Amino acid sequence: MLRLTTPISDEDIRSLHVGDSVLLNGIIVTGRDAAHKFLIEHFIRNQSDDPEDVALLEKLKPLLNGGVIYHCGPVVKKNEDGSWSFVAAGPTTSIREEVYEAEVIKFFNLKGVIGKGGMAGKTLQACHDQPAVYFHAIGGAATLIAQSVKEVVDVYKLEFGVPEAMWVIRVEDFPVVVTMDSHGQSIHDKVLAESEERFKQLVG
């Protein structure tokens, strides 16, 4: 079992291969459909001059440089002192972000993406070029994963709704498995190819 702490170096990313189990530590940021669309439209393909957007970009850059985005729509509670806690933090299906992820990885110098179900060719190429990796989190273990979230540091774009907001969290020993690495390997591609071959055999 390997332990990595954000920000993660290129050297550490290149040392990872599909099948490696990793315990993540440090600061990560959640982001789903609304967040990715916002990043693309306001920062990557267009440069917003809105003061709030400019301020947000300056906050996100150091968080995501060498960092990790987690495809997660958490269940949270607000505490009496105004702070937030994660109740459930399971991964959401990543393929919805395939149209955005490669550009987000490149623009922010991401080193990791966490989700479930894997991603496709554009993201795999971005992982090779950056370098970066895709970490698969355990689906159906939302409450267990939430125990790894030790602190909600901040939240951005709460107007998107709780599941779609960008939650900045500090995690300790967050369990993940590398299923797409920086060497062009993808467990998801392998499973798909084997499944298609098996299907052909079954239908003759």
**Stretch 21-27: mean pLDDT:** 97
CATH number, residue 82:
3.20.130.10
Average predicted confidence (pLDDT) for the chain = 92
Q: Does 199 score more than 80 pLDDT?
A: no
Confidence of residue 81 (pLDDT cuts 50, 70, 90): very high
Q: Which amino acid is at 58?
A: E
Q: Does 155 score more than 90 pLDDT?
A: yes
Q: Does 142 score more than 80 pLDDT?
A: no
Q: Report the predicted TM-score, pTM, of the whole model to 2 decimal places.
A: 0.91
Number of domains in the chain: 1
Give the position of tokens 């709780």. 162
Q: What is the pLDDT of residue 188?
A: 75
How far apart CA 97 and CA 117 sit, in angstroms, is 12
Residues 6+ apart with CB under 8 A from 2: 16, 20, 21, 22, 23
Q: What is the pLDDT of residue 7?
A: 98
Confidence of residue 204 (pLDDT cuts 50, 70, 90): low
Residues in the chain: 204
How far apart CA 124 and CA 183 sit, in angstroms, is 9
Strand partners, 96: none
* Burial (CB count within 10 angstroms: exposed 0-12, middle 13-18, buried 19+), residue 93: middle
Q: Cite the DSSP H helix spans in the chain.
A: 10-14, 33-39, 51-64, 98-108, 121-129, 142-146, 187-203
Q: What is the pLDDT of residue 201?
A: 52
How far apart CA 96 and CA 101 sit, in angstroms, is 9
Query: Which residue in the list 36, 71, 136, 188 is annotated as catalytic?
Result: 36
Q: What is the pLDDT of residue 146?
A: 87
Confidence of residue 40 (pLDDT cuts 50, 70, 90): very high
How far apart CA 168 and CA 46 sit, in angstroms, is 24
Percent of the chain residues topping a pLDDT of 90: 86
Contact 137, 176 (CB under 8 A): yes
Active site residue 36: yes
Range of the domain at 69: 2-203
Q: Does 195 score more than 50 pLDDT?
A: no
More confident site: 197 or 40:
40
At 104-134, the pLDDT tens digits run 999 999 999 999 999 999 999 999 999 999 9
How far apart CA 175 and CA 1 sit, in angstroms, is 9
